[in-house]
Amino acid sequence: MKLSSVLGCITGTPAKQEVSGTCASKQDAEVADNERLPKAIKDVMPAPRPHWVGDGFFVHPVFSQLAFTKHVSPFLMFDYAAPRNFEPTTSRLGVGKHPHRGFETVTIAFQGEVEHGDSVGNHGVIGPGDVQWMTAGRGIVHEEYHSENLARQGGTFEFCQLWVNLPKKHKMTAPRYQPILKQDIPQVPLISEDIAMDYGYVRIIAGSYLGATGPAKTFSAVNLWDILLTTKGWPAEIQLPAGHTTLIFVRRGSLKVGAKGLVGPQGMVRLDMAGSLARLEAQEDNTQLLLLGGEPIDEPIAARGPFVMNTQDELVQANADYRSGRFGR
Ligand code: MN
């Protein structure tokens, strides 16, 4: 597997536009200017080396240097498994029963199928383009495997899993499982007004874009968009909320963000919270992105293994509750 490459990056903030007018209108003008500003690049992160999770998931821990920090809030971590061929097998490939508390796991199958079963009684298989949005809340025990079908026949597998934090007041919510099928995810075409032609799409798994709203129910404001740019050199100007975290992952191809921020395959770019515009230009045809956006959760993070709480005491409690069998009821 070729490791990702970072072609270069820009840092700093773009020149602020001149604010005209005085006194009464100045503050409004500054706000309006901020609204129109492109989001500056904070980091360009090449994907770290992949490692095995169980025996089924060979993943790049994509923004591991910032995982579980406020810089990526409300997101905690993100694993991506690049396309990989698996031989037919009679064994179950993946990760056996394990607990989670205090956050959500979001799994997207790009190629092949993922199977999930949990202690609340949910069971499901998702295929290409489908999503599982699991809320661990106060506690769940689940297992994650390649589907029986994929294991038996063999084939290409590509997937990702994103961990989304829960606000303190929702950490002990009841566990929930949302299977989200491809057909239920709205797809907004990117249209060039010059020649009235599509040059890609934004699939809205969570949040909203140009009036289309994704099916995922979330506990804080989250945008999770699967983006295709079909044509090299045709930029898409995407409006994003000011004040939100924005992370853009290059799943395939390569990307130019703004004037010269280049992100190679399987790299991640983190944008500034200020500003509200991202100009995304494919450097190769059929560049595919995943945009993670969300309102930061301004609360302490205490994370250990499969538990993500606000304090060390809550981690100790989570461990005790799991050991005494109080999860998933
Ligand atoms: Mn898990």
pLDDT at 116 over 50: yes
Determine the average pLDDT of the residues in 83-101.
96
Closest C-alpha to 79, from 52, 43, 101: 52
DSSP 262-329: EE-TT-EEEE-SS--EEEEEESSTTEEEEEEEE----S--EEETTEEESSHHHHHHHHHHHHTT-S--
51-183 fold: Jelly Rolls (2.60.120)
Q: Distance between CA 144 and CA 142 in Å, rounded?
A: 7
pLDDT at 5 over 50: no
The pLDDT of residue 3? 29
pLDDT at 13 over 60: no
Residue identified by tokens 């506990």 is 219
* 276 C-alpha to ligand 1 centroid (Å): 33
pLDDT at 15 over 80: no
pTM of the model as a whole: 0.89
The pLDDT of residue 36? 73
Give 327's pLDDT tier (boundaries 50, 70, 90).
Answer: confident
- Contact partners, residue 118, CB within 8 Å, separation at least 6: 134, 140, 141, 142, 143, 175, 177, 328
Share of the chain above pLDDT 70, in %: 89
pLDDT at 168 over 90: yes
Give the containing element (helix H, strand E) for 26: helix 26-36
Mean pLDDT of the chain: 89
CB 95 within 8 A of CB 266: no
Give 121's pLDDT tier (boundaries 50, 70, 90).
Answer: very high
* 259 C-alpha to ligand 1 centroid (Å): 39
3-7, 154-158, 226-230, 241-245: least confident range: 3-7
* 188 C-alpha to ligand 1 centroid (Å): 31
The pLDDT of residue 315? 98
CB 279 within 8 A of CB 288: no
pLDDT at 24 over 80: no
* 164 C-alpha to ligand 1 centroid (Å): 12
pLDDT at 14 over 60: no
CB 79 within 8 A of CB 290: no
Question: What are the domain boundaries of the chain?
Answer: 51-183
The pLDDT of residue 25? 46
* 143 C-alpha to ligand 1 centroid (Å): 7
The pLDDT of residue 256? 97
* 151 C-alpha to ligand 1 centroid (Å): 19
* 59 C-alpha to ligand 1 centroid (Å): 14
* 186 C-alpha to ligand 1 centroid (Å): 27
* 328 C-alpha to ligand 1 centroid (Å): 13
Q: Tens digit of pLDDT for each residue in 270-294?
A: 999 999 999 999 999 999 999 999 9
CB 83 within 8 A of CB 141: no
The pLDDT of residue 49? 94
φ and ψ at residue 29, rounded to 5 degrees: -65, -40
